[in-house]
Structure 1
Amino acid sequence: MKIWTGACLCGGVRYEAKGELSQPIACHCSQCARTSGNFAVMASCRSDDLALLASDTLSWFQSSGSVRRGFCARCGGNLFWRSTPDDVVYVTAGTLDRPTGLSLREHIYVGSKSDFYAIADGLPQKREW
């Protein structure tokens, strides 16, 4: 069984995910842009497969009625996205230890992407989810 590991910039939050991670998606919604500074790339796993190895600085923000975002309160690292009551958690792909072996699958919420970049990689694009 594959074990994926990752952390925020300062190491205050470390995690591991056991089993499968989905091929990541790039989300261009305004909330992801505001939490990451640009679009966010996320890979998902079952919530039960994610274990926190260090979480002293982990904080959760309720960004909408059913969505919570996990970040490091010390370095500001954008780590997790979770919709409740779903049993899936999305891990920010940039926080995974390398090499990941993952490949970007598609772009979502391109209808609300910012105007300072173009998406030109030929991958599928969805106006919303």
Structure 2
Amino acid sequence: MCGAISFTINADVSTGNACHCTSCRKQSGHYWASIDVPRDALTIEGNDHIVWYQSSEKVRRGFCDTCGSTLFWDPVFRDWTSVAMGALDQPTQMKLSMHIYVSEKGDYYDIGDGLPQNQT
């Protein structure tokens, strides 16, 4: 949002997912829409402005230390990072492909877009 952090994705990524788990909802304020990007295809400028929060032993979440924007969900034992779809410049030409952790979704909304819904 503020421009302190920017990134480039050098991969053909066209779909993302919407995570409805309790942690993602609490962290983002609703559900977390993201794309999974191979780490070696993600170039980040402004690394010194990323604050990492270790939300579990397996995952850390990256925020901007200037404006607080949530940008990354990083499973530390995998070779990819999830990037917030809302942080991408428009037009993205990307689409959501599925909903995950719908068993934990908030009771204040319905999912009605017809995409696959995985319970976990």
For the criterion TM > 0.5, the same-fold answer is yes
Query: Separation in 2 of the partners of 1:75 and 1:113?
Result: 27
Q: Secondary structure at the match of 2:40?
A: helix
Tell me by how many angstroms 1:84 deviates: 1.7
Within a 5 Å distance, the mapping from 1:1-129 to structure 2 comes to: 9-128=1-120
Query: Separation in 1 of the partners of 2:50 and 2:34?
Result: 18
The runs of 5 or more residues in structure 1 that have no matched partner are 1-8
Number of residue pairs aligned between Structure 1 and Structure 2: 120
Pick which of 88-97 and 14-23 moved more.
Answer: 14-23
Tell me by how many angstroms 1:53 deviates: 1.9
Is the CA contact 1:22–1:44 (under 8 Å) kept in the aligned structure 2? no
- Which of structure 1's runs of 4+ aligned residues deviate more than 6 A? none
Deviations 1:4-26 (A, max 9, x none): xxxxx111111111022251100
Query: Separation in 2 of the partners of 1:68 and 1:16?
Result: 20
Deviations 1:85-107 (A, max 9, x none): 21011100000011000011000
Query: Separation in 1 of the partners of 2:68 and 2:26?
Result: 12
Alpha carbon RMSD of aligned pairs, Å?
1.0
Deviations 1:15-66 (A, max 9, x none): 1110222511000011111111000101011101111122332111100111
- TM-score (normalizing by structure 2): 0.95
Is the CA contact 2:98–2:116 (under 8 Å) kept in the aligned structure 1? yes
Q: Secondary structure at the match of 1:94?
A: helix
Q: Percent identity?
A: 41
- TM-score (normalizing by structure 1): 0.89
Query: Separation in 2 of the partners of 1:34 and 1:57?
Result: 22
The runs of 5 or more residues in structure 2 that have no matched partner are none
